[in-house]
C-alpha cells in the first residue's frame, strides 16, 4: 500500500503545517487588527495541511493537472539542474556587487553550456557564444538606454 | 455637450492616429510578451512622449500599448508556460499543453482571435454601458471584495491542480506570503525577521516570474528532448481551423467576454479573477470537461477573451468614477489629467468628444491586434521551437533576471525571484502547483483589507456578521459560488466512488 501513498505530498504538507503553526503563534505578538488575518489564515493552513497528511496516510491522492514535475522525473539531469540553480543564485547575489553586464555574460555562458546536449564544432560553438554575447548586449542596451532602467555597474561593469 | 460622431470617427481613423495605434499594438505586444516587462512599464515609459502629441493621438497610443501588452502576455504563457501577468495564469493551463504537443501555431492564432473578440466586446461595453456598469463597481464594498478574493482562491484551487486540498493549501500559503512587510491595516511589521529588504513585502511579479520560470528552466536543462514539438511545415496560421473552433465556441467566447467585462470593472481584483471564472465556467459547461488542462482550445479561448475584455471593463471605473482598476489604468488616468481631462460622471457630457475618440482608438487597436498578433505570434512560436536549448536557457534566464530587476530597479527583487523559483520547484515535487500560491499573493491584500474593514464597520455598528455576510445579497451570491466551487469536486468524487462500487458489485 505504501507505493500508492503521496509521500512527497505528505512532506510538503508537513512543511505547510509548520508554516501555518508558526504564523498562528507569531500572530500573538501583533496588535489585534494586524493579527486577525494571519491568525485565521495560519490556522486554516495548518488545519488543511494536517487534513491532507491524514487523508494521504489513508491512501488519498489527487490527480495533478498542472504541468509540474514529479519526484521520479527529477532524477534525470540532476547535475545540470544543480548547476542551473547554483548559477541563478550566484547571479542574483553577485550582480549588484560585480556589475550586471559581466555577471550576466558569465552566467549566460555557463547556462549555455548547461543547456548543451550535443558536441559542437569549434565554429558552431563560437557562433553560439557570439549569440549569447549579442543577447546580453541587446538586453542590456534595451534596459539601460531605451527603457531608462539603470543597470548596476558594480566593481567591473 | 453631445459629441459629433462624424468628427470623432474622422479623428480616430486619421492616418496618423491609425499609425500610432499600430505602433502601440506592436510595442505593447512585444513588451507584454517578455516576462517581467509589464503593460504598466510600457505605458509609464511612453507617457512623456504622448505629452507632445495632441490629446486624442496620445491617448490612442496609450490605449493601444495597453491592449497589446495584455494580449502579449499570452505568448510567454503559451510558449514558455510562464504567465506575463496574473491575468494570464489560466492561459498556461491549456495553451502550453497545446504548444508542447505541436499545436503552438493553432494556440497562438486562437489566443489572437479570442483576444480580439474579448477586446472588442469590452470596448463596446465601455462605449455604450459605462455609467450603468460603473454602478456595479460602487455596489461592491469591503465584504464583497473579501469574498471575491476567497472565490478566486477556491476557483484556482479547484482548477489548477485537480486536488482541491493541495490547491487550498497553496492559496493559503500565498495569502501568508502577501502578509510579509508592513500590515495594510494597523501598520505592524510582520514576518520580515528583521530584514529591511522585506519591509515592502514580496513583489507579485518577481514571485510570479520565479514560481513559473525557474521550474521551466530546471526542466529545460534536464532533458535533451525539444522544449516544444515543432508544427509540420505548410500549415500556415491555421486561421480557418481556428475560426472554425471559435465558431463552435461562440457561446463560450461571448460568455467569457461578458464575464471579463463585468469582473474587470472591479478595481484591483478584476483581471486575474475574470479569466479564472470564465475558464471555470467554460469547463463546467463543456461536454468534455476532462479535456481541460490538457490542451483544450475552449479553455484557451475562455481565458484570453476574458482577460482582454477586462481592458475595456477596467476603463469604466477609471473614466466614470476616477478610480483606476489596475496599475496601467492609473498611469493612463494620470495622462488624462495631464491632458486636462477631468474624469468623473460629467466626463461623458462635458468632454465626450475626446473620450469617445479614445474609446474608438481602443477599438481600432483591438482590431489591429488580429494581423499584428497573427504575424508576431507565428514568428514567436517558430523562434521558440527552432532555438536550441543552449540558447533558449540563457535567453529565458536573462529575461527573468532583468525582468524582475526592472520592476523597482532593486536587486532584492531578483533574489526573491530566484528563491521563490527554488521554493516553487521543490513544492511542485509534492504536487503543489504555482498558480494558487501566486493568486494568494495577488489577492492577499484585497482579502485582508476587505475582511478588516468589514470587521471595523461591523464593529462600529455592533453587527460584524451582518456587515460581512448576512445583510449583503452580493456577498450571499459570492459565498454560494464558493460553496458550489468547493462542493462540485467532492460531489464528483462521491459519484465516481459510488459508480465504482456498483460496478464492483456482482
* Contacts for B501 with CB less than 8 Å, ≥ 6 apart: none
Quickly state the pLDDT bin for B152 (edges 50, 70, 90).
confident
Please name the residue that has the C-alpha cell 547535475: A79
Chain B residues near residue A130 by CB distance under 8 angstroms? none
Q: Which of B393, B394, B490 best probes binding to A when mutated, by most A CB atoms within 10 angstroms? A: B394
Cell of B394: 540563457
ipTM of the complex model: 0.90
Put simply, the chain B residues between 197 and 256 with a CB less than 8 A from any chain A CB are: 214-215, 217-224
Q: What's the confidence (pLDDT) of residue A17?
A: 96
Query: What does the mean pLDDT of chain B come to?
Result: 84
Chain A residues inside the 8 Å CB shell of B173:
16, 19, 45
Model confidence band, residue A1 (pLDDT cutoffs 50, 70, 90): very low
Residue B36 pLDDT grade (very low, low, confident, very high; cuts 50, 70, 90): low
Q: What is the pLDDT of residues B429-451, one digit of tens each?
A: 888 888 889 888 888 888 888 88
Nearest one of A59, A51, A135 to A101, comparing CA atoms: A135
C-alpha atoms less than 13 angstroms from C-alpha of A151 in its C-beta half-sphere: 26
| Contact B140/A at CB under 8 A | no
Cβ contact (<8 Å) for A41 and B402?
Answer: no
Task: Using a CB–CB cutoff of 8 Å, tell me whether A84 touches chain B.
Answer: yes
Average pLDDT of span B299-318: 89
pLDDT score of B3 = 62
Please tell me the predicted confidence (pLDDT) of residue B287: 87
Q: Which pLDDT score, from 0 to 100, does residue B255 have? A: 94
Beta bridge partners, B182, equal B189
Question: Is A98 in CB contact (< 8 Å) with chain B?
Answer: no
SS3 B140: coil
C-alpha B503/C-alpha B115 separation (Å) is 45
**Cα separation, A41 vs B187, whole angstroms:** 18
Cα–Cα dist B87/B303, whole Å: 8
Of A116, A100, A68, the residue nearest B430 (C-alpha): A68
> For residue B234, what pLDDT band results from cuts at 50, 70 and 90?
low
Q: In angstroms, what CA-CA distances link B358 with B2, B53, B125, B148, B315?
A: 16, 14, 14, 30, 11
Q: Quick one: average pLDDT of A115-134?
A: 90
Question: 3-class DSSP state for residue B181?
Answer: strand
Tell me, what's the pLDDT at A71?
Answer: 54
Q: CA of A96: how far to CAs of A150, B80, B97, B225, B412, in Å?
A: 12, 27, 37, 35, 9
Q: How far apart are CA B469 and CA B476, in angstroms?
A: 6
Q: Which pLDDT does position B139 carry in this prediction?
A: 77
| pLDDT of residue B461 exceeding 60 | yes
Contact between chains at A113 and B418 (C-beta distance less than 8 A): no
Three-class SS state of B2: coil
Pairing of strands B181-182, B189-190: antiparallel
Angle between helices B15-33 and B55-79 (to 10 degrees): 30
Beta-carbon separation of B431 and A45 below 8 A: no
Q: Give the model's pLDDT for residue B164.
A: 83
Inter-chain residue contact B398 with A108, CB threshold 8 Å: yes
What cell does B415 get? 533574489
Of B389, B421, B433, nearest to A115 by CB-CB distance is B389
Rg from Cα positions in chain A = 23
Contacts of B293 in chain A (CB under 8 A): 65-66
Distance CA A18, CA B128 (A): 52
Helix (H) and strand (E) counts in chain B: 21, 2
pLDDT tens sequence across B80-105: 888 877 778 889 889 999 998 888 88
Q: What is the pLDDT of residue B63?
A: 86
Name the closest residue on chain B to residue A115, using Cα atoms.
B390
Within 143-162 of B, beta carbons closer than 8 Å to A belong to 160-162
Angstrom distance (rounded) from CA B441 to CA B205? 10
Whether chain B has a CB inside 8 Å of the CB on A96: the answer is yes
Contact B397 A88 (CB under 8 A): yes
Label each residue of B340-399 as H, E or C: CCCCCCCHHHHCHHHHHHHHHHHHHHHHHHHHHHHHHHHHHHHHHHHCCHHHHHHHHHHH
The answer to whether the beta carbons of residues B211 and B437 sit under 8 Å apart is yes
pLDDT at B446: 85
Task: Using CB atoms within 10 Å of the CB of residue A125, give its burial: 0 to 12 exposed, 13 to 18 middle, 19+ buried.
Answer: middle
Per-chain mean pLDDT for chain A: 86
CA A9 vs CA A4, A12, A57: distances in Å: 12, 5, 10
The CA distance from B37 to B31, in Å, is: 6
Q: Touching check for B425 and chain A: CB below 8 Å?
A: yes
For residue B481, pLDDT over 80 is answered with yes
Amino acid at each position: 500500500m505504501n507505493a500508492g501513498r503521496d509521500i512527497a505530498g505528505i512532506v510538503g504538507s508537513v512543511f505547510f503545517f509548520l508554516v501555518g503553526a508558526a504564523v498562528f503563534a507569531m500572530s500573538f505578538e501583533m496588535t489585534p487588527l494586524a493579527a486577525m488575518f494571519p491568525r485565521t489564515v495560519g490556522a486554516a493552513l495548518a488545519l488543511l495541511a494536517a487534513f491532507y497528511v491524514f487523508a494521504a496516510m489513508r491512501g488519498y491522492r489527487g490527480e495533478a493537472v498542472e504541468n509540474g514535475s514529479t519526484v521520479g522525473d527529477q532524477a534525470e539531469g540532476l547535475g545540470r539542474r544543480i548547476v542551473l540553480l547554483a548559477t541563478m543564485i550566484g547571479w542574483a547575489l553577485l550582480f549588484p556587487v560585480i556589475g550586471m553586464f559581466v555577471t550576466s555574460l558569465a552566467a549566460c555562458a555557463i547556462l549555455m553550456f548547461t543547456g548543451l546536449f550535443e558536441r559542437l564544432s569549434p565554429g558552431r560553438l563560437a557562433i553560439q557564444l557570439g549569440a549569447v554575447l549579442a543577447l546580453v548586449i541587446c538586453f542590456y542596451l534595451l534596459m539601460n538606454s531605451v527603457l531608462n532602467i539603470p543597470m548596476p555597474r558594480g566593481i567591473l561593469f | 455637450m453631445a459629441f459629433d460622431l462624424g468628427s470623432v470617427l474622422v479623428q480616430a481613423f486619421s492616418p496618423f492616429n491609425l499609425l500610432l495605434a499600430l505602433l502601440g499594438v506592436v510595442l505593447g505586444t512585444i513588451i507584454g510578451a517578455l516576462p517581467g516587462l509589464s503593460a504598466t512599464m510600457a505605458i509609464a515609459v511612453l507617457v512623456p512622449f504622448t505629452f507632445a502629441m495632441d490629446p486624442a493621438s496620445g491617448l490612442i497610443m496609450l490605449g493601444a500599448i495597453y491592449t497589446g501588452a495584455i494580449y502579449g502576455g499570452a505568448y510567454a504563457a503559451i510558449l514558455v508556460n510562464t504567465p506575463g501577468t496574473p491575468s494570464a495564469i489560466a492561459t498556461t493551463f491549456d495553451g502550453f499543453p497545446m504548444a508542447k504537443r505541436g499545436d503552438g501555431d493553432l494556440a497562438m492564432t486562437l489566443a489572437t482571435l479570442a483576444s480580439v473578440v474579448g477586446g472588442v466586446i469590452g470596448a463596446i461595453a465601455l462605449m455604450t454601458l459605462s455609467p450603468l456598469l460603473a454602478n456595479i463597481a460602487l455596489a461592491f464594498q469591503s465584504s464583497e471584495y473579501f469574498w471575491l478574493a476567497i472565490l478566486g482562491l477556491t476557483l484556482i484551487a479547484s482548477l489548477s491542480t485537480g486536488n482541491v486540498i493541495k490547491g487550498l493549501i497553496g492559496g493559503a500559503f500565498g495569502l501568508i506570503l502577501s502578509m510579509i512587510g508592513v500590515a495594510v491595516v494597523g501598520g505592524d511589521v510582520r514576518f520580515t525577521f528583521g530584514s529591511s529588504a522585506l519591509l515592502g513585502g514580496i513583489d507579485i511579479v518577481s514571485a510570479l516570474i520565479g514560481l513559473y520560470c525557474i521550474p521551466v528552466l530546471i526542466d529545460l536543462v534536464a532533458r535533451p528532448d525539444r522544449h516544444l514539438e515543432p508544427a509540420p511545415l505548410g500549415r500556415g496560421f491555421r486561421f480557418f481551423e481556428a475560426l472554425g473552433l471559435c465558431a463552435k465556441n461562440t457561446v463560450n467566447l461571448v460568455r467569457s467576454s461578458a464575464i471579463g467585462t463585468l469582473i474587470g470593472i472591479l478595481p484591483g481584483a478584476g483581471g486575474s479573477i475574470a479569466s479564472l471564472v470564465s475558464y471555470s465556467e467554460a469547463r463546467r459547461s463543456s461536454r468534455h470537461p476532462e479535456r481541460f488542462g490538457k490542451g483544450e482550445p475552449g479553455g484557451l479561448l475562455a481565458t484570453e477573451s476574458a482577460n482582454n475584455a477586462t481592458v475595456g471593463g477596467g476603463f469604466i471605473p477609471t473614466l466614470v468614477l476616477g478610480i483606476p482598476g489596475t496599475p496601467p489604468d492609473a498611469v493612463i488616468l494620470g495622462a488624462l489629467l495631464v491632458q486636462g481631462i477631468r474624469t468623473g460622471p460629467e466626463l461623458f457630457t462635458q468632454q465626450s468628444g475626446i473620450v469617445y475618440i479614445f474609446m474608438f482608438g481602443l477599438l481600432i487597436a483591438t482590431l489591429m491586434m488580429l494581423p499584428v498578433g497573427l504575424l508576431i505570434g507565428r514568428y514567436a512560436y517558430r523562434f521558440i521551437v527552432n532555438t536550441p536549448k543552449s540558447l533558449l536557457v540563457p535567453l529565458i534566464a536573462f529575461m527573468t533576471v532583468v525582468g524582475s530587476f526592472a520592476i523597482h530597479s532593486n536587486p532584492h527583487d531578483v533574489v526573491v525571484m530566484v528563491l521563490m523559483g527554488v521554493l516553487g520547484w521543490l513544492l511542485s515535487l509534492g504536487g503543489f502547483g504555482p498558480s494558487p500560491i501566486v493568486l494568494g499573493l495577488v489577492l492577499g491584500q484585497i482579502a485582508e483589507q476587505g475582511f478588516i474593514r468589514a470587521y471595523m464597520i461591523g464593529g462600529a455598528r455592533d453587527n460584524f456578521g451582518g456587515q460581512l455576510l448576512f445583510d449583503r445579497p452580493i456577498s450571499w451570491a459570492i459565498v454560494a459560488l464558493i460553496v458550489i466551487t468547493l462542493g462540485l469536486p467532492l460531489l464528483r468524487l462521491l459519484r465516481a466512488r459510488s459508480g465504482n462500487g456498483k460496478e464492483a458489485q456482482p
